[in-house]
């Protein structure tokens, strides 16, 4: 597991970190900051709750799926589905 706290351009830094450590079997856990198409395009499974204004009309297909799932289940049930009982750290790559 890799934990990282990014302070500059968080999405850009996360994408770089993911690409440096990329393994298609891994998952990236992050908070709403990382709900971005650039993160989904890295090829890892992204576990990040969508932002309030998230739409399913455009963007990466995996992100659109996450938004639909989140809106259907709500935050608590969505979080439980990923075994996140304690919430999310800023970002982790497992």
In the sheet with 45-47, reading across from the earlier edge strand, the strands are 2-3, 91-93, 27-30, 45-47
Query: How many structural domains comprise the chain?
Result: 1
Phi then psi for residue 42, to 5 deg, are -70, -20
Q: Residue 25: which domain range?
A: 2-93
pTM strictly above 0.85 = no
3-state secondary structure of 11: helix
pLDDT in tens, 7-56: 556 788 778 777 776 655 678 888 888 899 998 988 888 889 999 999 99
Q: Which of 69, 93, 94 is nearest to 80 (CA)?
A: 69
Q: Which two tokens stand for residue 36?
A: 């971005």
């Amino acid at each position: 597991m890799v934990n990282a706290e990014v302070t500059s351009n968080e999405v850009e830094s996360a994408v770089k970190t993911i690409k440096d450590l990329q393994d298609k079997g891994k998952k990236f856990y992050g908070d709403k900051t990382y709900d971005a198409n650039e993160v989904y395009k890295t090829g890892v499974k992204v576990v990040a709750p969508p932002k309030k204004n998230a739409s399913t009309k455009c963007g990466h297909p995996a992100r659109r799926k996450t938004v639909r799932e989140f809106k259907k289940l709500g935050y608590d049930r969505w979080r439980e589905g990923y075994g996140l009982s304690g919430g999310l750290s800023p970002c982790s790559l497992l």
